[in-house]
Amino acid sequence: MKTIKPLNLKIIGSDLEALATTTGIIVVLITPKGVMDPLAKRINKLTRGSLTRLIGSKHFIESDTGKLFSIDFPERCAAEKICVLKIERRTSKLIARKAGVEIAKMKGSVEILLALGNFANLVELCKGVMLREYKFYNHKTEDSLNLEDGDLITVMHKEPEIFKSELNEAEAIRDGVFLTRNLINEPSNILTTEEFANRLAELSKLGMKIEILEDDDLRNLGMNAFLGVGQGSSSPCKLVIMSWSGANDDVAPLALVGKGVVFDTGGISLKPAGGMEDMTMDMGGAAVVAGVLATLARRKSASNVVGLVGLVENMPSGTAQRPGDIVKSMKGDTIEVINTDAEGRLVLCDVMWYAQERFKPSAMIDLATLTGAIIVSLGHENAGLFSNNDWLCNEVLKAADFENEGAWRMPLGKPYSKLLKSRLADIKNVGGRAAGSITAAAFLEKFVKPEIPWVHIDIAGVAQTKSESDHAPAGATGWGVMTLDTLIKNNFECG
């Protein structure tokens, strides 16, 4: 089996003379007004004015910013291709990142040299390259891959050592996003609750504290809603707590809570067979939380953040939870289980309550592939946000917009909560077909203390996609790692 390591960029000093003998693909920059820097001018001279001819073409003039143009087998160059990036020297980070994504998409086994001079957003462009250059080949044999050597991108920079340090944060984000993608892409026979917990335990090497609560611990805490979801599976329930302490001890932590259903059959309320194989991604919320904590630790964030993920498998069996069962949550509320396929909220409600009771957080955010209804509402373009606090919700939306990760606020309110009234218990776990994602959020809101700013993020539509997304090939996207990292940087770091 072949595990692909993340792409690491090679940084070298600027060298005009080396351009003639560089093989593979060389990428240079020309502004929309046709201005060339010394590196592009050198290529233009070597190729007898080919860039000048390109600038004067209708195709170049009418194309959008961020467009790549190719000149194959250029004269007097060892390179097999010159790519010209039409872009302003000072442009938005998103345009720069998208340009990096396009560069990564054209890369096969051929080496690439980025000779972009003093492009202001070169770090963001490189981040786009790194985020898009992702492969999950863990379960393919090497014979079927036909992999070749040459997995290298080199960046020319006038101050290579300074640029290397500037890339550190981008590499930390890349590592967190890739951890999330890798976890989501793993099949459930590999990523069991025990294996998931073991992989999270490895994050202690980054300097965070890892604690794992087992079935008996959860039972002693009264987490019967959580345990009920897993009672039909041979895989044990586990609560993994990841703590990053980068600020003073007296700073209350931000709590991130993730749904970690490693496979969801629906339980006794069995899902249809078609598409059930996609339920390997029902632990996406837990994967995002892990990716965020890994990023914070990797970049030594000056924040206190605790990540809690409830790991469980929802299976039908003779011991499985039944529709009509009533369970008592850690909070003490009784829950009538109308549908065993509405299991994620049963996991989250106990973990969220535990997070508040033990850690007294300054704010709490939960992430979950919670409802198919959010896909009906928002498709695969936006995650759905629900909140009891305008400031925190707006900050998450601002961070998502800054990172080009789609998010949209959805409503909450008493009319939706009324749909969860149960004849036999304090609350039931579903409210009917109407407003399914909203009533799911309304259920969770009942387990949030009034004084705690809280955002629930339903990522069912964005955690994994059938086609490529802005920063990722088809499959797991890593949505949310960059958004939450930016949120923390903007609002929860000290100093």
> Do residues 126 and 247 both lie within one domain?
no
Burial of 161 (0-12, 13-18, 19+ CB in 10 A): exposed
Domain that holds residue 439: 173-491
Residue 380 covered by a domain: yes
Active site residue 300: no
Residue 168 covered by a domain: no
Cβ count near 293 (within 10 Å): 29
pLDDT, tens only, 117-160:
889 999 999 999 999 989 898 898 876 555 444 458 999 999 99
Distance CA 230, CA 237 (A): 6
Tokens of 25: 């693909």
pLDDT of residue 7: 74
Asked if 254 and 452 touch (Cβ cutoff 8 Å), the reply is no
pLDDT of residue 4: 62
- DSSP tag of 65: T
First to last CA, the chain: 45
What is the phi/psi pair of residue 298, to 5°? -65, -40
> Do residues 310 and 340 both lie within one domain?
yes
For CA atoms 314, 317, 322, 327, the dihedral sign is negative
The catalytic position among 67, 271, 398, 489 is 271
> Do residues 147 and 183 both lie within one domain?
no
Q: How far is CA 164 from the centre of its chain?
A: 24
Residue 2 covered by a domain: no
pLDDT, tens only, 60-79:
999 998 999 999 999 889 99
Look at residues 127, 158, 189 and tell me which one is the last residue of a structural domain: 158
> Do residues 107 and 224 both lie within one domain?
no
Active site residue 345: yes
- Poorest-confidence range of 226-240, 424-438, 466-480? 466-480
Helix, strand, or coil (residue 150): coil
pLDDT of residue 150: 46
Residue 277 covered by a domain: yes
> Do residues 318 and 439 both lie within one domain?
yes
> Do residues 422 and 396 both lie within one domain?
yes
pLDDT of residue 149: 45
Residue 424 covered by a domain: yes
Look at residues 110, 130, 158 and tell me which one is the last residue of a structural domain: 158
Residue 1 covered by a domain: no
Q: Which residue has the higher pLDDT, 109 or 416?
A: 416
pTM check: above 0.85: yes
- DSSP tag of 411: -
Q: Count of residues for the chain?
A: 495
The catalytic position among 98, 298, 345, 428 is 345
Mean pLDDT of the chain: 94
Q: How many domains, in total, are found in the chain? A: 2
pLDDT of residue 145: 55
pLDDT of residue 138: 87
Asked if 104 and 125 touch (Cβ cutoff 8 Å), the reply is no
> Do residues 416 and 388 both lie within one domain?
yes
> Do residues 142 and 207 both lie within one domain?
no
Residue 382's contacts (CB-CB under 8 Å, 6 or more residues apart) are 406, 407, 408, 461, 462
pLDDT of residue 2: 56
- Poorest-confidence range of 104-113, 261-270, 474-483? 104-113
Distance CA 105, CA 99 (A): 10
Tokens of 444: 């969770």
Full 3-state SS string of 25-64: EEEEEECCCCCECHHHHHHHHHCCCHHHHHHCCHHHHHCC
Distance CA 272, CA 372 (A): 13
Tokens of 334: 């009784």
Residue 151 covered by a domain: yes
Q: Which residue has the higher pLDDT, 59 or 110?
A: 59
Maximum separation of any 2 CA atoms in the chain, in Å = 83
Look at residues 158, 193, 215 and tell me which one is the last residue of a structural domain: 158
Residue 441: CATH number of its domain: 3.40.630.10
> Do residues 117 and 177 both lie within one domain?
no
Closest of 125, 130, 64, 126 to residue 96, by C-alpha: 125
> Do residues 221 and 346 both lie within one domain?
yes
Residue 123: CATH number of its domain: 3.40.220.10
> Do residues 304 and 214 both lie within one domain?
yes
> Do residues 80 and 53 both lie within one domain?
yes
Residue 342 covered by a domain: yes
